Each structure stands twice: as C-alpha cells, then as structure tokens.
Structure 1
Amino acid sequence: MSTQAEPNGSDHPIEVVLVTGMSGAGRTTVANVLEDMDWYVVDNLPPQMMRPLVELVARADGALPKIAIVIDAKGRTKYTELQETISDFVDQGLSLRILYLEASDEVLVRRFESTRRPHPLQGDGTLLDGIEAERSQLETLKHRADIIVDTSDLNVHQLSAEVRKRFSDDDTPPLRLTVMSFGFKYGLPKDADHIADVRFLPNPYWIPHLRGHNGLDSDVASFVLEQNGAEEFIERYAATLSTVAEGYLHEGRGYAMIGIGCTGGKHRSVAISERVGKLLSAQTGIPVTVRHRDLGRE
C-alpha cells in the first residue's frame, strides 16, 4: 500500500518514494519508468533538500502528487545525513517508501566493464573496492528499505515491468497507444511504430458532394466503411495490433504510435483511424488516443 505525505496540513496527499541502492543496479531505468508513469522525478538530490521539496510540491495544490527522489553515490551523498532526513520524515508524521536496488558483485563488475566507466567510489582502487565501499555505506539504509529488488538476473525490460507492477495504480495506464491518420503526400510520421496504407479503398475526394468534407463527417465515414474490404481490414488490423500491444505490455513499453495513411489524410485514413482506435481500445482495455495530423491542411 502506498505511503503518503501531507506536509503543512495539505488536503492533497503526496506519495513519496526514495530510489537508492547500488550503482549499476538500475536506478536510471527505474527513474525513467517512474517518470513515464507521471511521477515527478528528482535525481541526485541532497538529503537536506528532500523535505523542502515535498513542502514546495505540496503548495502546488495536488498538481504533483507523486515524487520519486533518486539518491546515488555519484553525488557523494553523506548517507548519515540521509538517515537523519528519513528519521525527520518519520518524526514529522510524514511517510515515504524506500526502493533499494541490489545486484551481485559479479554482475555489477560486468556492467561497469561494459560501459568502461569507473565506480563512483572506486578512487585509485579497483572496481570491487568501489562496490564494497558503497555496499558498506548502504547497509543500514538497505535494512530500512520497504522494497528490495535484486536486478542481477533482470534485463532492462524485466526491471521496467517490475517497477510498473509495484507502482502502477488504476489511474496509470500501463501502455499508451496513439492512432494517427496522415496523408502520404505530406510524408510518413517520423515517430510511427506501425504504418497502415488504406489507399486501397475508393477515395471520397472524387465524389463531388463528399470532397469538401472529411472522415469525421458521418456521410464520409459511412461511404468509407461501407466499401468492400473496409470492415474486414479494420477487424484484422485491430486484432493484429492487440497482439502487438500484449507484447509491448510484456516488454514494459510505455508508448506506441500507429499511423494510418491515405493520399491526403482527410477522408479514408481519418474514418479508418477512428474506427480502429475504438475497436482496439475495446479489445485491449488500453487507452487509445486518435489524432489526425493532416486534417487541417489545404
């Protein structure tokens, strides 16, 4: 269950998590995932600034209800000061969760060697010297942790999934999907993960009374969707995207964009995108945003 802080009697409870642990164990990955989940992430914050930060955010009147504070050895953190700050939180009736990331010496050495960077506490010694020094400094903090995650056998995607499982709530969609209509004449969307071409359907542009309208109009949408192959394409494509979305969820991916194009991005692609978006959301339960990139072009 989430612990919450309510500094200065605020009516808006604040959820605070302190992310710490061994260098090389995955703090950056955790911070990125929490940020994608709409947490306000502060990296390398001095312990003395933790409480002022929470109090400052409280004055935002609920605009930033979830704070993740990342503490690491690179900032030369004095862990005795951090312990005192945590104790101060408790004494003041404020609560926070501590997420501690662990990994074996062998794995940490391998990770540092792969990046060709020294351990932040290594100094003139070896990698193991730095790892042992950090492990010793963090021992007391580890015992106070609410959540300990050993990342020795986890890849980036597995760690991301673990964080999402532990910190997601009903208001945090595990995956965001966007379906975007576009016109091929204006170029492909640069950030699209999938592209579908619906120029195989008759173009309403050549129907005089439909030319000045777009795929959001019922007459144009009906014309497009009643064409041979339109509904079959929509059902099969939505089913394919549902399978893809399941894979994205498994891999811990947070966002994907599907582009659906026709010639000008005003008629066919717009109507098909609207239909695919609704069907995909109904099949997966994942929020789907439908956008129309080229609808306003001349």
Structure 2
Amino acid sequence: MPAARRLVLVTGPSGAGRSSAIRVLEDLGYEAIDNMPMRLIRSLLDSPDREAPVALGLDPRNRDFSATAINDALGQIAAVPGVMPELLYLDCRTDILLNRFSETRRRHPLAEADRVEAGILREKDLLAPVRERADVLIDTSDLNVHQLRAEVEHWFSPGEQTQLAVSIQSFSYKRGLPRSVDMVFDCRFLKNPYWEPALRQKTGLDSGVKTHIYSDPRAQEFETRLRDLLLWQLPAVLDEGKSHLSVAFGCTGGQHRSVAMAETVAAALAAAGWQVSIRHRELDRRKREEASA
C-alpha cells in the first residue's frame, strides 16, 4: 500500500516564522503555497493527483481565515483517500514578537497605529483554538533560523511519515516549561552537581557530571523506569496514528541533571531503533549569548 501524501497546513502569529518554515518545506521537496486563501483548498484537493507532498501557508489576515475554517479544511483533507493532513503551528512569546517587529520596523497587520502589542495579543486570541488543534507546535522564541530549519526538517522530511519522530529536550524550570512538549519529567530530586565547585561550570554532557549524578542511587532507577515506560508507550503512540512525540527533562538550571538524563534516555531510544532528535534549550541559549558577547 503506497504511503499517504502529506499535506501540511502551516500557520501561527505574524513574526513567528511561518514564511521561513514554508521555505524549508519547499527546500525539502514540498509543493509550497504561502498565504493560501481558505476557500481555494477544496479546489486544490480536486486537482489531479501529484506525488509531491504539499505545504500550505495560512495567513490569519485573510478574510476567510478562522478556527472553524481550518477545522473544516482538515476534515475535507482527511476525507480524501491517500492524503494525510497535518497542522504545523509556529508560536512565539509576545515579548520576542515585540522585539522582532521593533527590529524590522514592520507594522503588525492587526495593530492600530503604533499599538503593536495589542495587535499581537489580538492575533494570538484569534489563533488560540487553532493552536490547540496543532499536530506539531514549534516555539520559535529561542530558535535562530538554522535551528528552526532543523526542527522543521526533523518533523517533516519526506519519507519519514511512517515512523514516529521523538523529540527530546532539556530545560530550566527557572525559565519556564517548554510550550510544545507532550511529556515532562522533573529531575530536580537528583543529586545536583551545581554544588560541586569543580562541576559548576560544566554540563551534563561531561562525563564527570554524569558520574556525580549517578552517584545518587535514585538516578539509575529513574533512568530505567523512564526508558522502560517510553519503550512500552511509543508503539502504542504510533498505533494511535501519531507521527510526533516530544519529551522534556527539567532541572533547576537546565545545565546538569536534565541534560544528562535527556542524553541517556535519547541514546537508549535511538539504540532501540526509534528516530530521535535532541535539543538542550539552556545550553543553546548560553552558546548564543557567548557568541554575541
């Protein structure tokens, strides 16, 4: 039986990276159409079959854009034999969107006069029901264009749709929970390398840090239970029809315990044959700050 043709609807607040994501999908071989009027999706589905996957950028500024219209479009696409609809939502924090509009001096499409923040909030309110429906949600607040490309390629590279893509990341609770994850595990109860002066500036990628964490007898059991849980759960998630699962590990600073545990669990899942990507949110942030210093 041939694999279903992917049809990805791409949307999100202005400035969050929709156009950049569309360009990445086009580079991946998708037939990409940005700013697609909702009323034309039906005619697109009625066109002669083609082999290439399709990516449609949906702009909230369009007159016929609404959560109801997107739900209807997803239903129409799902009813077409051999087509697999997916909704990609590019999100971003309000403060970051404000900075982006300030840096580019662009006018927000829903803002009156110079009230950019009001326009951003109005647009986010409009998009809230769409965000809840997303199959893949990528928060671009802390991503540069290269990292965004890597995320989109991870989720939507052609030929991977029959697999389950597992995304694992580490984070700091001090900077808040990641906004686009399915499962979160708290590592703060484990022995903290931060209190060892020789380890404080190192990370969970260093063998000495990992050795220190695993000197806590609870660490190995925690890892084993999590690994077994995920290896038991992943086939069921795949059977349910999902193509993506995101898992996050958090600790106080996002530098030691969460990084080590994310690396270890990711390696175990990859060794078991699952498609895994890994990202360390706070370490990536630190690299960017050091590069710009």
TM-score of the two chains, using structure 2 as the length reference? 0.50
- State which structure, 1 or 2, has the greater radius of gyration over its C-alpha atoms: 1
